[in-house]
Amino acid sequence: MSRRLVALALSIALLPLAAPARAEVSAAAAMRAEPGKVVVTWQAKGPVDVFVSDDPAADVAHATRVSDDDKDGRFEAPADALARPYFLLRDEADGKVTRVGERLLPLLQGSNFRDLGGYPAAGGRHVKWGLFFRSGATPLLTREDAAKIQALGLHEMVDLRSNEERVLAPSKIEGVEYVAVGYSMTNLMPKGAITADRMAALYQGFPDLLKPQLKILFADLVRGDGPVVYNCSAGQDRTGFATALILSALGVPRDVIVADYHLSTEYRRPEFEMPKIDPAMAASNPTAAMFASFQKDPNAAKPMPLYSAEHRSLILYALDAVEQRYGSVEAYLDKELGVSAADIEKLRAEYLE
């Protein structure tokens, strides 16, 4: 064999062996297919082991293995009436684990009650599951719904609604510390008909309107007082702004924040956000009259897409207002809510994995 061929053979022999194909688990999701059944789906190039636990922080050593060598990217699991299942998908090639839970809490008479876990965040990490819950109003929860929420182990509920809304639709979540800061609905609603342009203007006012409530919410989070739930009536507008700030502080990309915001159109159930308004109350109470008019309007029974007349996401108007006035979300958090750069690092250490 020529020297050239020998050298070529040696160079080939010394090349590193190709690494085994990784499963590269992605697009993981868990959804309630029907009462008592959750379907977990994912994409991967290789086999995956599936584990389940009702503890959102459990590792595979403390979870139950429910499927081995799963190659079809789909697993159906029975769901307990109360316990909330969290699934761990382990890449068989390198042992990397991806955690996923149901985004929406399956309530019979709740609206838009969902978990912020799993979103990609700063430093290649992800938001922990089971610590942040956002919701619409909860005046019509069933006993079973209340038990499901109690099982979450919530530390506090921060209600972002006005005085009038809280009187008309008192929360049925019990056994959880409840915090609200009073203000009138007249400070919130745009004058005249609710149009896309007026909604954009409403969002631009959120950074000022909600400062007292947001100070409380972020103080709880910095102390590590989770799990926490926060809500407004629909769980989309005021709650959407609070969520955008939390996810921004955790380093979640803006497009992911906007996508989470628009899930409200899918997850809202307006019929459970406000009890039926008594006509006598509507005659003497402007806020009651407004909600009564919504209840009579067939169009209001269906959640509307959250866009301005220019088909721009409404949440961007609130974030624009923050950035135009303060330069960044971080500067707003620092100046108005007392959340420093060190606090943001603390939040990321506490709530990312």
pLDDT at 284: 84
pLDDT band per the 50, 70, 90 thresholds, residue 120: very high
Q: Is the bond into 106 cis (omega within 30 degrees of 0)?
A: no
Report helix, strand or coil for 181: coil
Q: How far is CA 239 from CA 105, 161, 202, 218, in A?
A: 16, 9, 13, 13
pLDDT of residue 79: 85
What's the DSSP call for residue 188?
T
Q: What is the distance between the alpha carbons of residues 57 and 39, in angstroms, rounded to a whole number?
A: 20
- Its pTM stands at 0.90
**Maximum average pLDDT range among 75-89, 100-114, 279-293:** 100-114
Helix residue ranges per DSSP H, 62-130: none
Q: For 201-249, how does the pLDDT look when each residue is reduced to its tens digit (9 = 90+)? A: 999 999 999 999 999 999 999 999 889 999 999 999 999 999 999 999 9
Q: Which residues pair with 126 in a beta bridge?
A: 120
Domains of the chain plus CATH, in order, are 26-101 (2.60.40.10), 114-351 (3.90.190.10)
In angstroms, rounded to a whole number, what is the distance separating the alpha carbons of residues 74 and 28? 10
Taking the C-alpha atoms of residue 87 and residue 158, their distance in angstroms, rounded to an integer, is 28
Query: What confidence tens digit (pLDDT) does each residue in 159-177 have?
Result: 999 999 999 999 999 999 9
Q: What is the pLDDT of residue 283?
A: 85
Please, what is the Cα angle at 173 between 273 and 187, to 5 degrees? 50
d(CA 259, CA 245): 14
Bigger pLDDT: 28 or 11?
28
Q: What distance in Å separates the CA atoms of residue 155 and residue 170, rounded to the nearest whole number?
A: 19
Confidence of residue 2 (pLDDT cuts 50, 70, 90): very low
Whether residue 122 is predicted with pLDDT greater than 70 in this model: the reply is yes
Which of helix, strand or coil describes residue 39?
strand
The pLDDT assigned to 80 comes to 81
